[in-house]
Structure 1
Amino acid sequence: MRSTRAAFSTIFFCAFALYIAWHASHHSPSGPLDELPLPAAHGDESNAGAAATEANAPELVKRGQYLARLGDCAACHTSDKSRPFAGGRAIPTPFGAIYSPNITPDPDTGIGQWTDADFVRAMHEGIGKGGQRLYPAFPYVAFTRVTERDVLAIRAYLNTVAPVHYKPPPNELRFPFNWRWLMIAWNLFNFDEGRFVPDPQKSAEFNRGAYLVEGLAHCEECHTPRNFMQGLRKNERFAGATQAGWQAYNITPDPLSGIGGWSDAALRAYLVTGAADGHGSAAGPMAEVVQNSTQYLTDVDVRSITTYLRVQRPIRGGVTRARDTWGQPVADDVTTLRGTSITSVNGAQLFVANCASCHNWTGAGVGASAPGAYPSLVHNSVVGAASPNNLAMVILHGVTRNTLQADVLMPAFDSELTNDQIAAISNYVTKQFGDPHATITPDQVGALRAAQQ
């Protein structure tokens, strides 16, 4: 019976998609207006009013590099650091793995033969050089907001990177999701093409922040929950979502569940260094964002992003206490363990053996608020979260975050500790230093371990 229903659903979906394809080919509306001028819409605040042109190619490339960093292009399009932008990184989706393409100027395997119009069309419409529909793992849903001027600056920069002759693996998507033309149906419900239009009732700083967050920075792609089609649920913007086992936390201005209790200085420190004293440290995908992207933001852009996020609709989501208000330093368990014979998996013993040398016996960390410190587990937004998933993921995969301020490294314990041991450490840490109601089972750790990174 289930197989019959599944087959019927697939046939119905395909038939509907065929109708959409026919409709699109016979009713082609005129494209949206391009962008209105956006003040300070480029990376170099020192010449925010200047227009980059081909006559000023070095400045165009410089601005394109800044914008490419802001868009974090390297994160998805680099699988091997010795071959930047050559693609090949597997991006997990509920429908299978998508491998990022090569965007170096190699003429055979990259975008060396793409025209500027091809590149703009991909960024604005999600359509590749050969007319194929791109999957929204490439966030054209956000990039459509970016001005053509900035898109061309990014293209100018990519033209200067070293060409790499490399063809990424083919995508591994299940039927029928491997049919690219079905994206016509997806776009109908989840994609609104059009450039960003400033709000004349808002400040230039707000508009700059909106342009960045909604466009190149594509913050919603990780921090907004998704619907059953994997489109963004616009009524829950920035309320938090799960990506490959990692929780991208709520960044609405709610004081309990979001960033409403963070000062502007704390937000700046987190974006630029990856560490905010009394709040937490970036790990997982967010550590990559800091490393590849936000550490390079100008002060103007940091303030603009903060200004924009501050006025979004706060979403509480049932949270009753801020994540970074839990815990106090304790050390009693160290004394209790002395002379004790341990015959089973013991979280306190495992913590002392694997974690205490860096995070201190008391959980207070070493190095206080420095960006390269071993962070405190007290008043830590990961340890105080209602779900201990990110804590377990940090233990499994460690932390690597290289910034201009510090190189941060926490070793991964996935090959050293079993699921039972990681669950025991996680539960000990949340009980002693964070939200004691947040617990995890060995089976749940196993599911996180299996999540493709």
Structure 2
Amino acid sequence: MKRVIAIVIVLLLAVGGWSLFHTQARQPVSPSASQVTEATLKDPALIAKGEYLATVGDCASCHTERGGVRYAGGRVLPTPFGNIPAPNITPDRETGLGGWSFEDFWQALHSGMGRHGELLYPVFSYTSFTKVTRDDALAIFAYLQSLPATNQAAKPLGLGFPYSVRNSLKAWRALYFQEGEYQPDASKSDDWNRGAYLVQGLGHCNECHAPRDSFGGSQNKPSLAGGQIPSQNWYAPDLSTQANGGLQGWSEQDIVDLLRTGQSARGTAFGPMAEVVQQSTQHMRDEDLRAIAVYLQSLPPRVAVAEPTSPLDTRPILAQGAKVYAERCADCHGKDGNGVAGIYPPLNGNSSVNEPSGINAIRVVLLGGFPPVTKGNPRPYSMPPFAQQLSDSDVAAVVTYIRQSWSNHASLVMERDVIKNRHTPID
């Protein structure tokens, strides 16, 4: 009996190993064999629609390296498992999408598989893009095919074993990937469904605004509950506007203003979100911005979190922080922490101040805060960095003071937290 069990185990391991290393090859569909004609891809209206949708999806942000040709790839995206360069998606036949058909593109966007059947790494957000409709995907592909071709070869993957084995993604996909287009909810309004489609799909908001586990999988219950962005060391806040949510009290107009201009009465976009606003959301139509706001305002209330307690006597820390705040911060943000409307953002009730980790406030104090330049706010006021002026102790004290003053009741920040993030790369 033991021998039979041993044989079964060996066979299972053999089958599992074969599955891990065996790739199911797929023959690409040549453009000439595609069901989508060349005339369709050259339709000006379809291309214009695709340009807008590619902007909504913020495709250029990842697929353009700093100082490089737009959409020609080359930007290296850091992950906890290694660095992954974004590919060239211009229509160059050797190094881009020039030899791709729409069927190849749809398989990548919808199923997370390359044109030869290889599994794609989920740094490409196909876990969200799978919700994009086929018609919208066709428009995006038509737009990308209309771009000037740029010959720029892909950079090598910066992944070590076992992450370099693409078929190891089979297990990951079984746990975290649910393929399928967005299905409208008939009980909801058209605006709600449009907002849900943009947030869940093309806008891929959940890729940042959700916690991730040690395998890099998003935890989606509750939806958009906030989380630290892997390897970027920013915390993307909870997006609920209801009780105990990260955007508690935000109005529809507050959300629209932030997405359109980078600034609202309740806060300012900075860090990765500033890039999203600059590259994507400021260019979106008003009706789409309002649809997003309608959907976000429907997110449920969050469970109340008990106010943090500490065995430490925090009075000396708060006194030190109050002194630093009066000397360095109050002239702009006000003694009451409410800032100056349209110029300096409020710290009182600010979601980035109150996020659980404290990392956002630490980084802004150390490295400065730089809102995006937008059509609606072409000359935003920036905050200077204080890394050279303030000690680790001062930064910890002033961030703790801000997080525990006025209506704020967030946890204290320790010097070790500041030390950890003092030399964090900006990009």
TM-score greater than 0.5 by the shorter chain: yes
Tell me which residue corresponds to 2:415.
442
Aligned partners of 1:273 and 1:290 also within 8 Å: yes
- Name the counterpart of 1:202: 188
State whether residues 269 and 275 of structure 1, in contact with CA within 8 Å, keep that contact through their aligned partners in structure 2. Answer: yes
The one of 257, 261, 272 equivalent to 1:273 is 261
Asked if 1:392 is matched to 2:362, the reply is: yes
**1:293 is matched with which residue?**
280
Selected match of 2:199 from 213, 232, 235: 213
Distance 1:66 1:284 in 2: 24
Gaps of 5+ in 2: 1-11, 27-38, 309-317
Moved more, 90-99 or 427-436: 427-436
Distance 2:64 2:371 in 1: 16
Change (3 A) 1:222 1:119: same
Q: Deviations over 1:309-344 (max 9, x none)?
A: 3333433252669xxxxxxxxxxx9xx9xxxxxxxx
Give the 3 Å change call, closer, same or farther, for CA 119–283 of structure 1 in structure 2. Answer: same
Confirm whether residue 312 of structure 1 aligns to residue 304 of structure 2: no
Q: Of residues 139, 144, 149 in structure 2, which corresponds to 1:158? A: 144
- AA in 1 matched with 2:415: P
Equivalent position to 1:263, from 228, 251, 261: 251
Checking the alignment, whether the CA contact within 8 Å between 1:238 and 1:250 is kept in structure 2 is yes
- Counterpart contact for 2:195–2:294, Cα < 8 Å: yes
Aligned residue in 2 for 1:365: 339
Could you say if the C-alpha distance between residues 274 and 17 of structure 1 is closer, same or farther in structure 2, counting changes exceeding 3 Å? farther
**What residue in structure 1 maps to residue 29 of structure 2?**
none
| Structure 1 residues 178 and 382: alpha-carbon distance in aligned structure 2, compared to 1, 3 A threshold | same
CA 1:421 to 1:260, structure 2 compared with 1: closer, same or farther past 3 Å? closer
Is the 1:260–1:310 contact (alpha carbons within 8 Å) kept by the matching residues of 2? Answer: no
1:245-266 CA-partner distances (Å, limit 9, x unpaired): 2111111343222335221111
8 Å CA contact 2:55–2:280 kept in 1: the answer is: yes
Map of 1:162-201 to 2, 5 A cutoff? 162-201=148-187
**1:41 maps to which residue?**
none
**Aligned counterpart, 1:401:** 372
Equivalent residue pairs, number: 389
Aligned to 1:134: 120
Distance in 1 separating the partners of 2:96 and 2:119:
17
Which residues of structure 1 form unaligned runs of 5+?
A: 1-11, 29-52, 322-332, 337-345
Q: Measure, in 2, the Cα distance between the counterparts of 1:388 and 1:165.
A: 43
Shift of 1:142: 0.8
Structure 2 SS opposite 1:159: helix
1:87-138 alpha-carbon deviations (Å, 9 max, x no partner): 2223222212222222223333322332222211111111123432211011
Q: Is the 2:262–2:377 contact (alpha carbons within 8 Å) kept by the matching residues of 1?
A: no
Q: Which amino acid aligns with 1:225?
A: P
Q: Residue in 1 aligned with 2:35?
A: none
Q: Cα deviation per residue 1:66-99 (whole Å; 9 max; x = unaligned)?
A: 1111111122222214422222223222212222
Give deviations 1:290-309, integer Å, cap 9, x for gaps: 11111222222122222223
Q: 208, 215, 233: which one pairs with 1:229?
A: 215
Match of 1:198, SS? coil
- Aligned equivalent of 1:120: 106
Partner of 1:247: 235
Partner Cα distance (2:153, 2:324) in 1? 44
From the superposition, tell whether residues 423 and 320 of structure 1 become closer, same or farther in structure 2 (CA, over 3 Å).
closer
Structure 1 residues 117, 319: CA separation in 2 closer, same or farther (over 3 Å shift)? farther
Q: TM-score, normalised by structure 1?
A: 0.76
Amino acid at match of 1:80: R
Residue number in structure 2 paired with 1:381: 351
Query: Please, what TM-score do these two structures have when normalized by structure 2?
Result: 0.80
| Equivalent position of 2:314 in the other structure | none
| Identity, % of aligned positions | 38
